[in-house]
Amino acid sequence: MATLFISDLHLDASHPQLTNLFLIFLKTHAKSADALYILGDLFEIWLGDDEPSEFAVIIQQALHEHITTNQIPTYFLPGNRDFLVGKTFAQQTGIVLLSDPTIINLYGEPVLIKHGDDLCTQDSRHQYFRRISRNFLVKKAFLTLPCSIREKMGAKIRLASQKRSPTLIPEKMDVTPEVIPKLMQQHQVYQFIHGHTHQPAIIYFPLHDRLANRIVLSDWGNNGNFLKVEPDGSKRLIYFDHTGKPL
């Protein structure tokens, strides 16, 4: 038994291979976990729980079946792509929604978990969009719009993001290094897990009188990926193929 963490799957109806990878993950690696944590950007974009797409239903049913059949506690912490996942989605799937950040008890150790996009402080344009889009009144107003209008707006946002990404300096898209120790000191933790940057790593560094670690989760593409944390505290980033076989 172990606790698993995933993020940045960016599931989308136009990429069925990613959906298949996720379904295989739920049926193989995740079915015997102590718990599953999804740290944001499960979806490429989520425009509201009332989105009536066949793709959305497939993901909801898969999560519901996984949670009810295997009795695996499953937690969702929103990312910058799917922060509009709400209570209806949680009720229909059985997931538990978490705020960003959250401190969890992981086999007796406090661990800070986040999506991570707010740590990329050099990307001022994204931080501005984040402040506006996460505003309660803005979200409420957006969700009152017809689904057709939300879909058009979402398509424009995705297109703008795709055009902008190649022009960004890599350092601006990464976490600002000096933010990490300050954040961990603030929350009094020595372990930190996040996603968003698509730069998977397990990084150890001294923090006061102890050795701390920061784990960056991988995005998904041709293969799937998850962090596996054992009860003894050992950690591994594991990749698997379309059959679920570890690479």
- pLDDT for the residue 170: 59
- pLDDT for the residue 209: 86
- pLDDT for the residue 157: 78
Q: How confident is the model at residue 156 (pLDDT cuts 50, 70, 90)?
A: confident
Q: Are 215 and 192 in contact (CB under 8 A)?
A: yes
Q: How confident is the model at residue 140 (pLDDT cuts 50, 70, 90)?
A: very high
Angstrom distance (rounded) from CA 16 to CA 55: 9
User: Distances from the Cα of 78 to the Cαs of 168, 175, 191, in angstroms?
Assistant: 24, 18, 20
- The 8-class DSSP code of residue 118 comes to G
Rounded mean pLDDT of 149-161?
84
**Alpha-carbon Rg for the chain in angstroms:** 18
pLDDT in tens, 205-229: 999 889 999 999 999 999 999 999 9
- pLDDT for the residue 89: 96
Residue 60 has pLDDT above 80, yes or no: yes
Residue 167 has pLDDT above 60, yes or no: no
Amino acid at 40: G
Q: How confident is the model at residue 31 (pLDDT cuts 50, 70, 90)?
A: very high
111: helix, coil or strand? Answer: strand
Residue 169 has pLDDT above 60, yes or no: no
> What are the domain boundaries of the chain?
3-240
% residues pLDDT > 90 (the chain): 83
Question: CATH code for 3-240?
Answer: 3.60.21.10
Rounded mean pLDDT of 94-107?
97
Rounded mean pLDDT of 160-189?
79
The model carries a pTM of 0.95
Angstrom distance (rounded) from CA 139 to CA 123: 22
- pLDDT for the residue 172: 62
